[in-house]
Structure 1
Amino acid sequence: MTAAAPAPLTQRTTRLGLGVGMDLPWGERIGFAPSADGGDVTPRVRAFLRRHEEHYGYSFFAFQPRDRARLRAADYVIAYDRLYDAMPAGRPRAFHQTLLNMGTPECYDRRPVADFTNELHARYGFSWVVEDLGIWSLQGRPLPYPLPPVMTERGLERATSNAREARELLEPELHVEFPGFTEGGSFVLGAMDAFDYFRRLADDANVWVTLDVGHLLSYQWLRGRTGPAMYEGLESLPLERCRELHLSGCQIVRGKFRDLHHGVLLDEQIDLTRHLLPRCPNLLGVTYEDPVYNEDGELTPKSRPNYDRLSDVVARWMDGEAS
């Protein structure tokens, strides 16, 4: 079964407000705890979900493999059931896949990943599936951090074909996320403008998109666009196709942008979010990704000030006040 093309871009949708996205590795304090009966979220995660159950209008979690065995939904659903049992019922759920590998220059069969995702969707009713347009693995070997796609015309052709294939194979809606360009944490092959590249891919593959604010800033920093220049070129992005903004903890280290996912948002991320909100007419929500919290589920003190600013910006947007 193939997914329908994205809805007409003139269609307005109900705003979902502030959401939360969680990377939940197996065996970490913020993650899943393996067990003989299928696993469960850790007590720290459960405390966070209990403390913040009224704060988020939707959620996603990112897929992390338990091991290198063949993908089987049965190996995951008990832990995932327990995750969702700990969350409020009736709120939209999304899924952050990490295996579609849409930025790769390689050709291979994505049907096993799509079948696995569709089986989870049949159980949990994902509103969408999102994945960064990156090179997540090469020759079957996962990379420590996804690399940007090959920034050439041929690379764009391959990435567009990959995104189109993923959209057609998935039953839930696909959101393709703008990739990260962290200097020193990844490298870039090719010299095409990333904003124009991403717009062309979105149009030609006919997909909705997610804009990670930290990823946008990582590219701007790489290009030397800091301060007021961080707004330059944004009009080249497929803003009318944007359904979600992501914000995760970032930091400037010795003048270089670092996407650390440590929970602490930069002032620039809040400012750029405020700038983008009125320019994305089909936006569904703004996601605070990978919060960091203590054993009681309380956000770390360093993350609170700009998290509170983000919450206020999103609340104003929900009320129609963002400009």
Structure 2
Amino acid sequence: MTAVPATTPVPATTAGPAARLGLGVGMDLPWGERIGFRETPGGGDVTPRVRAFLDRHADHFGYSFFAFQPRSRARLRAGDYTPAYDRLYEAMPAGNVRAFHHTLLNMGTPERYDRRPAAEFANDLHARYGFSWVVEDLGIWSLRGRPLPYPLPPVMTERGLEIATGHARDARELLEPPLHVEFPGFTEGGSFVLGDLDGFDYFRRLAEDADVWVTLDVGHLLSYQWLRGRTGQAMYDELERLPLERCRELHLSGCQITNGKFRDLHHGVLLDEQIDLTRHLLPRCPNLLGVTYEDPVYGEDGVLVEKSRRNYERLRLIVGEWAAAPGEDQG
């Protein structure tokens, strides 16, 4: 792994994450998209649209992460990315807690997979930016070296669980920041499932045996409940089987219900069901650090698309109330 150039890094927060960081933002920033990174002579920068969003909304968030997107198929080197990442952090409030959403650990794959280069890349970035954690979905992100358009759930069999647990344990040991393993997506029509183990039991057993913290994506939980026919009030059924005491972060990204099927679209518009389930989970996750609004969508002026504003403000309100009351019982 090539060392990060010895330029002045963007200062990171000097303290680890405190209890209840409140609302955070997660951003998937592809190269060459309007919401993403752009190539510049200086090594890259966020687009003007992203900068406008941060100018307008960054003070809403107590922490942030961005998801890794490759700029090319060249050998993975942190120094190829840090100029653009520096510009991103310069546009954000100083001192905010930072995290990193990996996409290369591939913990759900049934194949042998050397994740040392991916871990070294994250560790190099961590040395520069001081990440408080690294998160990645427990999914199959690539097969035989070819990335998939959307990560598939891990193989839901006893052998699949054994393999995925080993992968998660390896990733935890390779990474310098703490690892948060995210509950996988089960979008009907967008992925398929091999095996018949219960998803909540599978995830709890993996978290306990690999000894990892977890992230619960509210849309992923609802997609699994919908797949099992648990809609309406039944969406709360059996959530206690999840490793709630290990949960450090909740994610919410734009979702939609179409013809009775749950779609995880990341289009910025949160469903009422996501807000309701978040409200249900907050007092049941005693070690929760924060709640992340993932992949906001906005115009050139940085203003959130109109359809997303109502439930975004509802989310801000309930998370703000939760963060302001850290002494309450977590029953």
TM-score (norm 2): 0.93
How far apart, CA to CA, are the structure 2 residues paired with 1:207 and 1:120? 21
Task: State which of 101, 107, 119 in structure 2 corresponds to 1:102.
Answer: 107
Contact 1:13-1:282 at 8 Å conserved across structures: no
What letter corresponds to residue 208 of structure 1 in structure 2? W
How far apart, CA to CA, are the structure 2 residues paired with 1:54 and 1:112? 34
Tell me which residue corresponds to 2:277. Answer: 272
Task: State which of 173, 176, 182 in structure 2 corresponds to 1:177.
Answer: 182
- Note if 1:309 corresponds to 2:314: yes
Q: Deviations over 1:245-274 (max 9, x none)?
A: 000000001110000000000000000000
Structural mapping, 1:124-139, within 5 Å:
124-139=129-144
How far apart, CA to CA, are the structure 2 residues paired with 1:183 and 1:121? 35
Tell me which residue corresponds to 1:318. Answer: 323
Paired residue secondary structure (2:248)? strand
Q: Deviations over 1:54-101 (max 9, x none)?
A: 100000000000111110011100000000011111010000000000
Greater Cα shift, 107-116 or 117-126: 107-116
Tell me which residue corresponds to 1:49. Answer: 54
Question: Alpha-carbon deviation of 1:167?
Answer: 0.1
Contact 1:21-1:288 at 8 Å conserved across structures: yes
User: Structure 1, unaligned stretches of length 5 or more?
Assistant: 1-11
Question: Alpha-carbon deviation of 1:14?
Answer: 1.4
How far apart, CA to CA, are the structure 2 residues paired with 1:266 and 1:237? 22
TM-score (norm 1): 0.95
- Note if 1:250 corresponds to 2:250: no
- Note if 1:155 corresponds to 2:160: yes
- Note if 1:114 corresponds to 2:119: yes
How far apart, CA to CA, are the structure 2 residues paired with 1:261 and 1:35? 27
What letter corresponds to residue 253 of structure 2 in structure 1? S
Q: Deviations over 1:32-52 (max 9, x none)?
A: 001233110000000000101
Q: Deviations over 1:117-165 (max 9, x none)?
A: 1000000000000000000000000000000000000000000000000
Structural mapping, 1:1-323, within 5 Å:
14-320=19-325
Question: Alpha-carbon deviation of 1:13?
Answer: 5.2
Give the count of matched residue pairs. 312
How far apart, CA to CA, are the structure 1 residues paired with 2:58 and 2:297? 16
For the aligned residues, what is the CA RMSD?
1.2
